[in-house]
């Protein structure tokens, strides 16, 4: 397993957990690190909200002790706002600043953020330049193949990001219109890798050792990012890295819950864990009425008791 160096930050391997909105909370990232992820990213964070001192936004910046090095992902559309945000004390602990230019969510896209920036390469470049002026830490960019199949511009976009000063890029080789459907086009990712000299990370469809090796073989990428393939299965990192580690699903779920409780209210943790628990239990036989009860429960102790019963503990 080769290491990956992004500017002056050296990772222990080239496998990382993607910034997944609604899922990449500090508890889940801590588990991903435990199982060997070389780098983790926060959920995407609004640069503008940070400059306003928004408490809920700053709560997304909580990190675990085992996350070093760690990365934060920012989104927005105004270069000057990124410049101001990156200089804030709350971002000093992050080793890498990643810019989201690939989110396909309608609200984000409609605000000219996320994947909308792929249609405005000049503005995207100005954002990266502003970030590079603001810090000597690595600035990375995550983007897609293009807006739709008729406007594939990933190679042109990658070159522009490199020219603007990005230290590495991540290509999720699906279009904005595709969202998360269909297959990622590894040939587009390969073309991006061949077009630039900075490290290229490929995101999309990595779910096991076989898919990881295939992505590297086809694209010659420097790194691979796992998103949905890790949901409910943080141990996938150990499996890909061939690190023989004992796993206990119930213990991992309880660890995840308890870690979040150190930082957030019970109400927040219960709501946040519902989607996580659905993924943790995806391949486990659970009676429909038990699953429904579990996902409606509002008390942590009751959630834990139902989980114990499911796992026969």
- Condensed to tens digits (0 to 9), the pLDDT of residues 37-61 reads 999 999 999 999 999 999 889 999 9
CA distances from 135 to 52, 95, 139, 150 (A): 20, 11, 9, 36
The yes/no answer on whether domain 4-241 falls in CATH 3.20.20.70 is yes
Query: Which residue out of 30, 70, 90, 103 is catalytically annotated?
Result: 103
In the CATH hierarchy, which top-level class contains the domain 249-310? mainly alpha
- What pLDDT was estimated at residue 278? 94
- pLDDT beyond 70 at 97: yes
* Torsion angles phi and psi, residue 173, rounded to 5: -80, 50
- The C-alpha atoms of residue 247 and residue 251 are separated, in whole angstroms, by 8
* Catalytic annotation present for 30: no
Report pTM.
0.95
Q: What's the pLDDT tens digit per position in 132-159?
A: 999 999 999 999 999 999 999 999 999 9
pLDDT tens digits along 187-240:
999 999 999 999 999 999 999 999 999 999 999 999 999 999 999 999 999 999
247, 253, 235: which is closest to 303 by C-alpha?
Answer: 253
Q: Are 237 and 35 in contact (CB under 8 A)?
A: yes
Is the CB of residue 224 less than 8 Å from the CB of residue 252? no
pLDDT of residue 64: 93
Dump pLDDT digits (tens) for 157-186: 999 999 999 999 999 999 999 999 989 999
pLDDT in tens, 24-34: 999 999 999 99
| Residues forming CATH 1.10.1200 domain(s) in the chain | 249-310
Proportion of the chain above pLDDT 70, given as a percent: 99
From the list 180, 119, 112, the residue with the least C-alpha distance to 146 is 119
Confidence of residue 313 (pLDDT cuts 50, 70, 90): low
């Amino acid at each position: 397993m080769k290491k990956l160096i992004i500017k002056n930050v050296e990772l222990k391997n080239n496998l990382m957990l993607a910034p997944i909105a609604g899922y990449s909370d500090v508890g889940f990232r801590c588990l991903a690190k435990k199982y060997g992820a070389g780098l983790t990213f926060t959920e995407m964070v609004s640069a503008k909200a940070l400059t306003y001192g928004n408490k809920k936004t700053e709560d997304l910046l909580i990190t675990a002790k085992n996350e070093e090095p760690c990365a934060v992902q920012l989104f927005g559309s105004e270069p000057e706002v990124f410049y101001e945000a990156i200089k804030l004390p709350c971002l000093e602990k992050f080793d890498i600043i990643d810019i989201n230019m690939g989110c396909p969510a309608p609200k984000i896209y409609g605000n000219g953020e996320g994947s909308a920036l792929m249609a405005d390469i000049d503005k995207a470049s100005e954002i990266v330049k502003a970030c590079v002026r603001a810090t000597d830490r690595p600035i990375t960019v995550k983007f897609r193949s293009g807006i739709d199949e008729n406007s594939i511009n990933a190679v042109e976009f990658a070159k522009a990001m490199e020219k603007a000063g990005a230290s590495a890029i991540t290509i999720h080789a699906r279009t904005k219109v595709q969202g998360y459907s269909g297959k990622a086009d590894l040939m587009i990712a390969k073309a991006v890798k061949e077009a630039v000299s900075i490290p290229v990370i490929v995101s999309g469809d990595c779910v096991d050792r076989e898919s990881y090796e295939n992505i590297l073989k086809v694209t010659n990428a420097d790194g691979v990012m796992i998103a949905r393939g890790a949901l409910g299965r943080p141990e996938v990192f150990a499996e890909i890295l061939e690190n023989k580690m004992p796993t206990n699903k119930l213990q991992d779920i309880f660890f995840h819950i308890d870690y979040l409780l150190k930082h957030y209210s019970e109400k927040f943790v219960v709501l946040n864990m519902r989607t996580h628990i659905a993924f943790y239990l995806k391949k486990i036989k659970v009676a429909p009425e038990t699953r429904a009860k579990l996902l409606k429960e509002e008390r942590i102790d009751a959630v834990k008791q139902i989980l114990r019963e499911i796992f026969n503990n």
